[in-house]
Structure 1
């Protein structure tokens, strides 16, 4: 009599099993009463985010306020590499699910303020500002713009609850914001999942200091600029041509090498080359034939055996 009965299982497709679809997934949903997170379909079924980014956004939204979500912390928690986690975090920033800004504390320490949005575009300000943070991080001549927050979808009602904010984290494990560009964002390749092209892009950016010591880029700047170089390579540009475009006519003392490289990668992005028609297939020459005149025996090319040209001319004259 004291045995507890389990929660009833309800099929999402209908009350009767006869209503289940003949193919595809069948949902068996059980009502959650504790330890659950509400996630909108605009995130779970996002058409542009990768599967790693969607899963990472779900994990971040399920964490309590104050949890650490640095790249090294996430890499220690999940089997994905730091590179894949950094790329997923950038995807969430581009689509407005995550905002990371640098602020300077009164003591001079620079921290990264990380805010998670469960519905992008509905909250425009920081819901939990840090009273220790100064609104002016310092005399930076080239400040990094805050990432854009695109709404998906745009005409949604404001959320019922305020998104959770994540506590500040150290700058070292976090990638920097995208450097300043003419259009506000760096170009990106259409097919980002190409490890060989990404490795070539990282090599181009790393070797810039070999040609000019003024273009010394940090590891985090290289990770941010690598997708833009991949876009150049995807459009048919060769690594030597990209290096020449980035190192030509440099100013005497560039104050922000990463911003300068980002500007040139965006402003000088080459167009996509038109498809060239394939050349005609190689036509083999006619085979060799031996002149049938017994006194000649000259070898010549012809489709059919017979007399050579001189012998035919003499036979015609006779």
Structure 2
């Protein structure tokens, strides 16, 4: 007895191979307040979109959701079919792309975030969700920009001794008429910051000490590293790391270096990077810096959410007239061919 399948949505086959993981911080991001998974999810979508939506919905957060990764994991459809399906899922309210502003080591770049929702959402819900994500990203960036210094515990000054607490004076054995010399005042040595020892070198000292192993033409002795350490420390104070310093000192060297310490000292003076402010530049009043901006699902054009209804820009929403005419012409030609074949078959039936 055959058993009927009441599930209208096509499910992706279970695969034992691991899914493709995206880089840390990228990949699939599930939206909040979704309904539990059910058999009738995505049943209103076409067959191809149902299949791809079911596969994407079973992926964990952090899995790669780009077109190439999905086409590689789903052998039934190629990259063009997957791209068209993702665009349709965006129009249906299950998918949104957004560009996020990321600041690392004084550099600003934009990366693409992918948000997925099993429950179909309208444009108003996505606008409110992206606005909340934008506020959260701005708060996180402000928290990481301003360093939190540890609270300083004030040290209490020693209380002066009172007459009751001070010891009783001892009567000298000599007569009072004999003059006594004043007691010498003890000299308290001034505390100073200890110089870095070879057991605890600074990052600047380490970068200079390893310079000769990376570039044999720049061997520096321990005395040379100690003399050049203050200059290299200025580079680290301006936000660069050891790799940046080493590349700046070793690039474009002559064939022979007569005085390694002289060349390194000259480059530390001449190639010192500019001083970048540690606090972000204040924005113009009334125009806050947006750290999250929606991206068109079709062409990837960034813009505000109100300018991208259904996740599509104006160009992608309007159909191409040439493509529409070509599709209509092809459909008419296909109908003409079918009618011609039907007529030929009818003629062959007559004696």
TM-score (norm: length of structure 1)? 0.34
Greater helix share, 1 or 2? Answer: 2
TM-score (norm: length of structure 2)? 0.31
- Greater C-alpha Rg: 2
